[in-house]
Amino acid sequence: MNAPRELDAGFAGLTLDDARLRARALVPALRERAGRQEEARRLLPENLADLNANGLLRWGQPRTWGGMELDFEAVFDVPYEVGRGCLSTAWNVGNLGIHHWMLALYDERAQNEVWGANRDALIASGIAFPQGSAKKVDGGFLLSGHWNFSSGVDGSEWNMLACLVKDGDRVVDHRMCLVPASDYALIDDWQVLGMRGTGSKSVKVKDAFVPEHRALCMYLARGEKTYPGAAVNDNPVYAVPLSSWGGHCLAGAIVGNAQAAVDLTIDSIKARSTAYTAMRMRDFQAVQLRVASAAAQVEAACLMLRTDCAEGQRIAASGRAPTVEEKLRIKRNLAFAIGLCTQAVDQMHALAGANGIYDSYPIQRMFRDHHAAMAHISFSWDAQGGPWGLVAMGGEFPSPTL
């Protein structure tokens, strides 16, 4: 039976400041559990319980379902605060959280199927369109594919799987198919360098039927209120284009991790002397400059990405879709900001010296996690810098989902 659409108190009354404070309060516990989560290769049950109790996966869920329905800055800010405790946990906060935001774009029937049964439902994803294929059938689509990097898939009740819809050899549509866990097989292949605690395993589907209302056409998520869910969720936050701003939820987690690396380095240096001269490390100008540079790089990344999130909200509220150049500038800035954080994390790991090779030293995990996370295509300067430059200089950049 579908849940009624009356307001459920839930977390609907919370502000962005409330969400930030709740996330910040979890940082000590997340730092203490980070090693165990890495060993588990999935989101720890106690971390998930804390996130659910504080509503930290529901910052983008509509208020009518008890979510916070916060402005788009929350996409960056909530994972950022959690990332200061554990990047893997924050990556899941970004991923699982934005899937609640994305579900608001779907037909109301899909929202009822998921949230009507469980308003805390975990929704994983597989976002690589070429990894999935679908063919149009009566009432929906027949979906097959093999998707890797499905973060938070352990315990998820649903999955949003991207696919190409073809007519012969011609691609005619890009869809994000919402499928229940019973329709996909989970493949435990997550043995990796870093980000182990995200549980980003693979999933496989063979000829699963997906009804039309659970297959979101991505051409309707490029800006403006053309998405099916606009009939019940008309807040401008849901009109922010997914393909250009969607990576900011993950960037928040990465920048939070970089800030934690700076903070922990400062704490460590306050207590350390060198082994050879008995001088305090803080008295070396080279150390001072490295820490100052890293701190400035992280602050610059924060400022750039928060500004761009506010820009997305402002443009959506104005009722227009961003231009292609505006969208590509956002993607350019995202990759550039993460590059700044890479420099910061690398400098902080270098300052750790020989301590930085020990599993017991938190910064070595932060270093590994950062380099694993930055491999995401959204953060590749080579992939994201060029298209903006091309369009800015008068060229064309064709992309059906942009």
Residue 376: count of CB within 10 angstroms of its CB: 18
pLDDT the model gives residue 31: 98
The residues, ordered by sequence, that sit 6+ positions from 135 with a Cβ below 8 Å of its Cβ are 141, 142, 165, 166
Q: Which of 15, 30, 125, 16 is nearest to 83 (CA)?
A: 30
- Mean pLDDT in residue range 50-74: 98
255 and 376 part of one domain:
yes
Domain housing 139: 123-220
35 and 91 part of one domain:
yes
- Mean pLDDT in residue range 309-315: 98
Residue 233 within a domain: no
pLDDT the model gives residue 273: 65
Q: Which residues pair with 202 in a beta bridge?
A: 187
| 35, two tokens | 């090693």
382 and 288 part of one domain:
yes
* Window from 99-113, 305-319, 354-368 with minimum mean pLDDT: 354-368
| 377, two tokens | 């295509």
Residue 143 within a domain: yes
pLDDT the model gives residue 7: 47
pLDDT in tens, 281-296: 899 999 999 999 999 9
* Window from 149-153, 272-276, 385-389 with minimum mean pLDDT: 272-276
| Dihedral angle over CA of 379, 381, 387, 389, nearest 10 | 130
- Residue 93 has phi, psi (to 5 degrees) of -60, -45
**Residue-averaged pLDDT of the chain:** 95
Instruction: State how far the Cα of 338 lies from the Cα of 256, in Å rounded to an integer.
Output: 11
Given 115, 140, 161, which residue is the final one in a domain? 115
pLDDT in tens, 103-139: 999 999 999 999 999 999 999 999 999 999 999 999 9
66 and 85 part of one domain:
yes
- List the CATH number of the domain containing 181: 2.40.110.10
Residue 225 within a domain: no
53 and 98 part of one domain:
yes
Given 174, 190, 220, which residue is the final one in a domain? 220
Given 159, 187, 220, which residue is the final one in a domain? 220
pLDDT in tens, 221-238: 999 999 999 999 999 999
Provide the pLDDT confidence category of residue 271 given band limits of 50, 70 and 90. confident
pLDDT in tens, 150-184: 999 999 999 999 999 999 999 999 999 999 999 99
- How far CA 390 is from CA of 107, 160, 246, 268, 395, in Å, comes to 36, 32, 22, 45, 5
362 and 302 part of one domain:
yes
- How far CA 71 is from CA of 25, 32, 160, 214, in Å, comes to 21, 31, 23, 25
Residue 269 within a domain: yes
Instruction: State how far the Cα of 386 lies from the Cα of 325, in Å rounded to an integer.
Output: 12
- Residue 147 has phi, psi (to 5 degrees) of -110, 130
Domain count, the chain: 3
pLDDT the model gives residue 279: 77
Instruction: State how far the Cα of 30 lies from the Cα of 15, in Å rounded to an integer.
Output: 22
251 and 344 part of one domain:
yes
* Window from 64-73, 111-120, 266-275 with minimum mean pLDDT: 266-275
- List the CATH number of the domain containing 93: 1.10.540.10
pLDDT at 1 over 80: no
251 and 345 part of one domain:
yes
Residue 231 within a domain: no
